[in-house]
Amino acid sequence: MEEKEGKRMATQEATMNAAKGLVTFVNKGVSPYHVVDVCRKTLTQAGFVELSEKADWDASLLGRNGKYFLTRNQSTIIAFAVGGQYKAGNGFSMVGAHTDSPCLKVKPRSDKKNNKWLSVGVECYGGGIWGTWFDRDLTIAGRAIVKMDSKLTHHLVHIERPILRVPHLAIHLQRNMNDSFGPNKETHVQPVLATEAMTKLNETSNCAKTQKHHSVLIDAICKELGCMSENLMDMELCLTDTQPATIGGIANEFIFSPRLDNLFNVYAGLQGLIESLTNETLASDTNIRMLVCYDNEEVGSQSAQGAESQITELVMRRIVQGLDGAGYRYEQSIANSFLISADQAHAVHPHYSEKHEENHKPQFHGGPVVKFNGNQRYATTAITASILRAVAEKASVPLQDVVVRNDSPCGTTIGPIIAAKMGLRTVDIGGPMLSMHSIREMCCTSSVSQTISLYKAFYEEFPAIDAAFKVE
The answer to whether 333 touches 89, Cβ cutoff 8 Å, is yes
Cα torsion 246, 247, 249, 250: sign: negative
Confidence (pLDDT) at 250: 98
Confidence (pLDDT) at 448: 98
Confidence (pLDDT) at 388: 98
In the sheet that 246-248 helps form, which strands lie side by side, from edge to edge?
246-248, 254-257, 441-444, 432-434, 345-346
Domain at 196, CATH number: 2.30.250.10
**247 part of a folded domain:** no
- Check whether residue 74 and residue 172 sit in a common domain: no
DSSP character string of 301-370: S-STTSTTSSHHHHHHHHHHHHHHGGG--HHHHHHT-EEEEE--EEPPPSS-GGGS-TT----TTS--EE
Q: Quick one: pLDDT band at residue 3, thresholds 50, 70, 90?
A: low
**Mean model confidence pLDDT for the chain:** 94
Q: Quick one: pLDDT band at residue 470, thresholds 50, 70, 90?
A: confident
Neighbours of 81 (CB within 10 A): 28
pLDDT tens figures, 243-300 = 999 999 999 999 999 999 999 999 999 999 999 998 789 999 999 999 999 999 999 9
Q: Is the peptide bond before 336 cis (omega within 30 degrees of 0)?
A: no
Mean pLDDT within 139-150: 95
pLDDT tens figures, 151-183 = 999 999 999 999 999 999 999 999 898 888 889
Number of domains forming the structure of the chain: 2
Name, in order, each residue with C-beta under 8 angstroms of 34's C-beta and a sequence gap of 6 or more.
Answer: 28, 141, 156, 158
More confident residue, 203 or 214: 214
Q: Quick one: pLDDT band at residue 8, thresholds 50, 70, 90?
A: low
| Angle between the N-to-C axes of helices 446-468 and 382-395, in degrees from 0 to 180, rounded to the nearest 10 | 120
- Check whether residue 73 and residue 187 sit in a common domain: no
Confidence (pLDDT) at 1: 58
Mean pLDDT within 35-41: 98
**340 part of a folded domain:** yes
- Check whether residue 88 and residue 166 sit in a common domain: no
Confidence (pLDDT) at 325: 87
| Angle between the N-to-C axes of helices 2-28 and 260-276, in degrees from 0 to 180, rounded to the nearest 10 | 120
pLDDT tens figures, 403-423 = 999 999 999 999 999 999 999
pLDDT at 311 over 90: yes
Mean pLDDT within 322-340: 93
- Check whether residue 179 and residue 287 sit in a common domain: no
User: Taking the model in full, what pTM does it have?
Assistant: 0.95
The answer to whether 152 touches 232, Cβ cutoff 8 Å, is no
Confidence (pLDDT) at 58: 85
Confidence (pLDDT) at 299: 97
- Check whether residue 87 and residue 124 sit in a common domain: no
Q: Tell me phi and psi for residue 259, to 5 degrees.
A: 65, 20
Range of the domain at 203: 103-241
pLDDT at 59 over 90: no
CA end-to-end span of the chain: 47
- Total H helices, total E strands in the chain: 10, 20
Confidence (pLDDT) at 167: 96
pLDDT above 90 covers what percent of the chain? 88
- Check whether residue 223 and residue 360 sit in a common domain: no
**252 part of a folded domain:** no
- Check whether residue 111 and residue 82 sit in a common domain: no
Question: What is the three-class DSSP state of 208?
Answer: helix
- Check whether residue 83 and residue 50 sit in a common domain: yes
- Boundary (domain end) residue, out of 190, 216, 241: 241
Domain at 455, CATH number: 3.40.630.10
